[in-house]
Structure 1
Amino acid sequence: MQSDLPNQTRDQTLLSLACKHLNNNFNSLEEIETVNISGMSNVTYIISSKKEPSNKVVIRFFESKAADFATEASIFRQMGKRGWGPKEIESTDVYRVEEYIDGRPLTMFELRNPFIAKTAMEMICETNYDEKLNKLIKQLKTPNHNFSQDFVSDSDNGWFNRYMRDVRPQLLQADFTNFPRALEIFNVFESIVRDKDQFIKEYEGLYPSNENVLFSHNDIQENNIMVWNQDKTQLTLIDFEYSSLNFRGYDIASYINETAIDYAHPVVPKFKLYEEFFDSIIEEKEIDLYLGYYLKKYHQIMSQKIEEYEYKGQLDKLLEKELPILRDEVLRCILLQHLIWSFWTLIMMPIEDLKKCENFYLEYGYQRLQMYIKYKDQFLGLASKQ
């Protein structure tokens, strides 16, 4: 993501924070090693002194037009206090200075590794069912909110409603004469939102019937899972700006979707979606592998937490009952995800970017929407058989 801050302001802030937190009176940025590790929702740097490269901090600028950074800040502090993530050093409404974790983001291909998938599913389950996080998110937001449902039900900030109110009118007035690719993509979006009521009805029809609603990260992807350099078995979730309550299957669906999207792809538009990887997800044996890891961790948590837990000592019975239910939830959430993130790209995209032939936001949104269109009937057909 490109910073919305003027370069001079950003550079002055980086220099000031480097002097303060690296304990050095730097005269210019030339004395500082600055590594840009920005994702799609924020602008982030690792900074260190060129003379003392081992002393590092992370500086994150909050610039997403779609994220809830007030909520994210509270969750970030909670995770840091418990040793589940980096600690906050300093924070304002514009930026946060964080403890540096000696690690790196996973790659898309690592997400498909069975050991990493198992560890990630267990981590997701622990996060979903964590009592403190569930209590905190209900205090920060309305107790009955739901990230997936807010997409269409929140008239002010829901991403679908923001697209219809703020973005679509501009696109309807845009001159696409010299931009046939942008027009092609806009027409696909227009074909599904022209009848707004029908779109909302179809979207709400995707909701899982078994509404297990829990704390959710909501943006599980390769850049938001860190692996520690000193312990390759330790994973850490970062970037909680989209966290809220959501359907139980959503974070699992995120992980499954992201095993097929490479954000480190070197060729413009700087990502690659591997449809053939999604095809393998339809096979029950592969998706059930992920779900089994999650449910076994759930079984362990409930066995320790609840004295009268129904399935204590009966893992096989739990899997027999819950696996089909969870599979239905995840298949539906995979579809919800494709729609949600396709519209996210359009409210994030500067309208002037329509003129760019190789536009990340347009292409990403288009491909996510096409995945929804391609798999909708197939996934809902599988879900109906559960």
Structure 2
Amino acid sequence: MGQTSLEALSGQVSNPSPRQGPEDSGSSQPHHHRLDHMGERLISQVAEWLEHERTKKQQRKTRRVYSHKRKSPPAEPERERGRPEEPGEPSAVEQLTRHHRRYSIDSQSSDVSLDRLQRIIDDSMNALGLNSIPHYRPGMGRKSHKKRAHHLHRTASSDTEYHDGDVRVPSCDAVLDNSKTMSYSGGKSGEGADGTSVSSRKVDKEREDWIKFKNDVLRIAHTLRIKGWRRVPLDTGDTIDIERLSGALTNAVYVVTPPQELLNNTEGGKKAPAKLLLRVYGPQVENIIDRDNELNVLKRLSRKKIGPRMLGTFENGRFEQFFNAITLTPAHLREPETSKQIAKRMRELHDGIELLEEEKDGGPAVFKNWDHWLDNTAKVVTYLDRKGRSGGLGPIRGPADAWKERGLICGVEWAKFEQALDKYRKYLDDYYAGHKNLRDQLVFAHNDTQYGNILRIRPDDEKSPLMSPQNEHKQLIVIDFEYAAANMRGHEFANHFTEWTYNYHNVTAPYACNTSRYPTLEEQRRFIKAYVEHRPQFPHAGSTPNLTPHDTPLGTPGLGATTPGSSSIVDFMLDARIPPGGYKDDEKRREEQVEQRIKELLEETRLWRTANSAQWVAWGIMQAKVPGLEQKDGPPEDAEAKGSQPAAIVSPEEQPGGADEFDYLAYAHERALLFWGDCVKMGVVKMEELPEELRGKIKLIEY
């Protein structure tokens, strides 16, 4: 659950740095910028020619060696076999002889010339502040472009969004350490993150760490060649603004703003480097999130213009496009119009991204996650269960110890929880009667549509297309695709509806699941009806794998596939036949079909809510800090003897004494209570089979 809270920050203007030439950020460019641009282009063209000449030279050398090894020249080397020589045309032997003689004469001088030219290119690159061959090859075919990129091993730049039809994202192997920085921003002199007074020595140390962090951010932005940011000189991190955004559970998220003096400089029509969204991954979070898969997903989304554009990645984080937007709140989810807009955007995501065959074969990602996380989850829970049974748990010093008051994390011992989930999975297998029926209904799902992952863009222009009623829902964008994968529509709805019950900004219990806030049946119907009736409009035919641009909103009962319907071209023909029974009967049939589909999806949502809860139970357990438990190797019994460090996944903002400590084990416990409530309602387990203490605590949702 990557939660972010984006607040709009404004301002856009920039100055070139003394060393780095400014980049192309608008139609109006200063004279020295045009010169730098032309210089980079010239270097690119000369480097391409140089590589071409060296390749030809190597080929000539190879042919020369080959001809020496043969007793006679190969027949017809330059001419199609069987074609007679034209009158006056040199023979094949004469061609080879002339070529060999010319190569021998020019070989030594060409070596010197090419080496000298290479030195000229290197010197010119240093003068322009370039660390790699720039990319300027308009008019070149794709084949030669790809060949050139292979020869030069060019590092991609964020200035280049696509290459050979695919998204190119620059990357580097830098690691950004944010563990010592103060919360959110640089802080105020004499005050800590909580407003309490601190010693001047501590303030100075925190300020020093903060400036170092900002300089590291700037250095990585330079390395990735993020557009415009090379204008900000290195080691001037104290001039840029970095604001930590609250609420992130998996990542630490920041807004990076260029120096104020550049924002205020509007002379010459120059644009400032754009603000950036910086995301720093929690340490060891790869145990939960497959970052390679996430980046591949983001590239697939970029092809469809969905979500923020990635600008560059490094070892433990990435830079993204920053939107002038606000993050939704729990109250927004309950607004009828906002809820319908979310449903429309969800439909566009499900229908706009085609699943790969291997994703379909792998089945619902909710169970793939569970199976992948199972070993680590079991290790943590069995350790805590054993500690609970042994007694003598010690004092409660903070969120990391609060589990001692609640008892068993899952309400029962881990083995019983796992047995209940296995019974539930067997229930699903019987319900769908085979993998194929399930496979055919999978869609590309976000899987974490909580309010903090949904932004509303604030258009700068009142005449923006986003302001028109038909496009108003497109003001909403979804971020954080860390868990995006193949899942059922019902699972996506269940996840979203369950997120209605949370307020992660609650001061006393941000982990609590308040089932009274779960959407009512009418609110669920309103959401799903908007989803079913929405007809996504896609800009390109190839962008709609699941639907035609005006396809029917209905699906085959029990399946997710669509069928030809109301928006056939026949509907727009003046001489089209009147449907049997007239238009009123036809409209009535369509309404009945819509109602039937809503009913099916409501049932599917209830069915998959249990799986969704189980997944987040495991997630919360893996995120928790568990002192005394070794994370990866060795049985739990060995952990205390070895005196290992805190286990599981510890985000930088969750370090002891951090301002945003979140009780992950409490979150897992609350989710487990919801899991048991759904198991009882489904009949997977009987109430009397549960421990008496658990019976009074389970969370039941009646609809």
- What SS does the corresponding residue of 1:371 show, helix, strand or coil? helix
Provide the residue aligned with 1:34 in structure 2.
Answer: 242
Q: 1:328 aligns with which of 595, 599, 603?
A: 603
Provide the residue aligned with 2:458 in structure 1.
Answer: 229
Provide the residue aligned with 1:198 in structure 2.
Answer: 419
Deviation at 1:6, TM superposition (A): 4.1
Cα deviations by residue, 1:181-220 (Å, 9 ceiling, x for unpaired): 4134451416152336622323315648353221111111
Is residue 454–residue 479 contact of structure 2 (8 Å, CA) maintained in 1?
A: yes
Q: Name the CA distance, whole Å, in 2 between partners of 1:37 and 1:321.
A: 43
Give the counterpart letter for 1:96 in structure 2. Answer: R
Matches within 5 A, 1:1-386: 6-7=179-180, 11-18=214-221, 21=226, 22=229, 23-37=231-245, 39-51=248-260, 52=262, 55-63=274-282, 64=285, 65-130=287-352, 132-135=353-356, 138=357, 143-152=361-370, 154=371, 157=372, 159-164=373-378, 166-172=379-385, 174=387, 176-179=393-396, 181-189=402-410, 191=412, 193-195=414-416, 198-205=419-426, 207=428, 209-210=431-432, 211=438, 212-230=441-459, 231=466, 233=472, 234-265=475-506, 267-278=507-518, 281=519, 283-297=520-534, 302=547, 304=549, 310=563, 312-313=565-566, 315-352=590-627, 359-378=662-681
Give the counterpart letter for 1:240 in structure 2. Answer: F
Q: Give the TM-score normalised by the residue count of structure 1.
A: 0.82
Residues 123 and 27 (structure 1), Cα distance of their counterparts in 2 relative to 1, 3 Å cut: same
Comparing 347-356 with 104-113, which one deviates more in the overlay? 347-356
List runs of 5+ in structure 2 lacking aligned partners.
Answer: 4-175, 181-208, 264-271, 433-437, 460-465, 538-545, 553-560, 567-588, 628-645, 648-654, 685-701
Q: Name the CA distance, whole Å, in 1 between partners of 2:562 and 2:613.
A: 35
Cα deviations by residue, 1:112-160 (Å, 9 ceiling, x for unpaired): 1111111111111121122x4423xx45x573232122244x3xx2x33
Deviation at 1:80, TM superposition (A): 2.7
Q: Name the CA distance, whole Å, in 1 between partners of 2:412 and 2:445.
A: 31
Is residue 218–residue 254 contact of structure 1 (8 Å, CA) maintained in 2?
A: yes
Deviation at 1:177, TM superposition (A): 3.0
Q: Name the CA distance, whole Å, in 1 between partners of 2:251 and 2:453.
A: 12
Is residue 148–residue 247 contact of structure 1 (8 Å, CA) maintained in 2?
A: no
Larger Rg: 2
Residues 143 and 200 (structure 1), Cα distance of their counterparts in 2 relative to 1, 3 Å cut: same
Deviation at 1:235, TM superposition (A): 0.8
Q: Name the CA distance, whole Å, in 1 between partners of 2:536 and 2:258.
A: 47
Give the counterpart letter for 1:201 in structure 2. Answer: D
Residues 142 and 276 (structure 1), Cα distance of their counterparts in 2 relative to 1, 3 Å cut: closer
Q: Name the CA distance, whole Å, in 2 between partners of 1:304 and 1:28.
A: 50
Q: Name the CA distance, whole Å, in 2 between partners of 1:10 and 1:244.
A: 34
Residues 379 and 276 (structure 1), Cα distance of their counterparts in 2 relative to 1, 3 Å cut: farther
Over the aligned positions, Cα root-mean-square deviation in angstroms equals: 3.5
Q: Name the CA distance, whole Å, in 1 between partners of 2:612 and 2:457.
A: 28
Q: Name the CA distance, whole Å, in 1 between partners of 2:427 and 2:476.
A: 31
In terms of fraction of residues, the more helix-rich structure is 1
Give the counterpart letter for 1:149 in structure 2. Answer: F
Q: Name the CA distance, whole Å, in 2 between partners of 1:160 and 1:115.
A: 39
Deviation at 1:326, TM superposition (A): 0.8
Q: Name the CA distance, whole Å, in 2 between partners of 1:79 and 1:184.
A: 44
Q: Name the CA distance, whole Å, in 2 between partners of 1:169 and 1:5.
A: 32
Residues 338 and 70 (structure 1), Cα distance of their counterparts in 2 relative to 1, 3 Å cut: same
Give the counterpart letter for 2:380 in structure 1. Answer: V
Is residue 339–residue 372 contact of structure 1 (8 Å, CA) maintained in 2?
A: yes
Percent identical residues? 17
Cα deviations by residue, 1:21-72 (Å, 9 ceiling, x for unpaired): 4330153543221111262222221101241457311111233341121111
Runs of 4+ displaced beyond 6 Å: 1-4, 298-301, 305-308, 353-358
Is residue 620–residue 664 contact of structure 2 (8 Å, CA) maintained in 1?
A: yes
Provide the residue aligned with 2:82 in structure 1.
Answer: none
Residues 62 and 299 (structure 1), Cα distance of their counterparts in 2 relative to 1, 3 Å cut: closer
Q: Name the CA distance, whole Å, in 2 between partners of 1:163 and 1:10.
A: 33
Deviation at 1:12, TM superposition (A): 4.8
Aligned residues: 370
Q: Name the CA distance, whole Å, in 2 between partners of 1:206 and 1:228.
A: 42
Give the counterpart letter for 2:292 in structure 1. Answer: A
Q: Name the CA distance, whole Å, in 2 between partners of 1:269 and 1:240.
A: 26
Provide the residue aligned with 2:103 in structure 1.
Answer: none
Is residue 206–residue 336 contact of structure 1 (8 Å, CA) maintained in 2?
A: no
Q: Name the CA distance, whole Å, in 2 between partners of 1:4 and 1:333.
A: 39
Q: Name the CA distance, whole Å, in 1 between partners of 2:664 and 2:292.
A: 25
Is residue 224–residue 237 contact of structure 1 (8 Å, CA) maintained in 2?
A: yes
Is residue 206–residue 333 contact of structure 1 (8 Å, CA) maintained in 2?
A: no
Residues 192 and 129 (structure 1), Cα distance of their counterparts in 2 relative to 1, 3 Å cut: farther
Q: Name the CA distance, whole Å, in 2 between partners of 1:247 and 1:48.
A: 39
Comparing 299-308 with 241-250, which one deviates more in the overlay? 299-308
Q: Name the CA distance, whole Å, in 2 between partners of 1:311 and 1:299.
A: 15
- What SS does the corresponding residue of 1:364 show, helix, strand or coil? helix
Deviation at 1:274, TM superposition (A): 3.1
In terms of fraction of residues, the more strand-rich structure is 1
List runs of 5+ in structure 1 lacking aligned partners.
Answer: none
Give the counterpart letter for 2:374 in structure 1. Answer: F
Deviation at 1:261, TM superposition (A): 1.0
Comparing 83-92 with 356-365, which one deviates more in the overlay? 356-365
Q: Name the CA distance, whole Å, in 2 between partners of 1:15 and 1:259.
A: 38
Cα deviations by residue, 1:303-329 (Å, 9 ceiling, x for unpaired): 647699646125323223322221111
Q: Name the CA distance, whole Å, in 2 between partners of 1:187 and 1:247.
A: 31
Deviation at 1:238, TM superposition (A): 1.0
Q: Name the CA distance, whole Å, in 2 between partners of 1:235 and 1:304.
A: 21
- What SS does the corresponding residue of 2:361 show, helix, strand or coil? coil
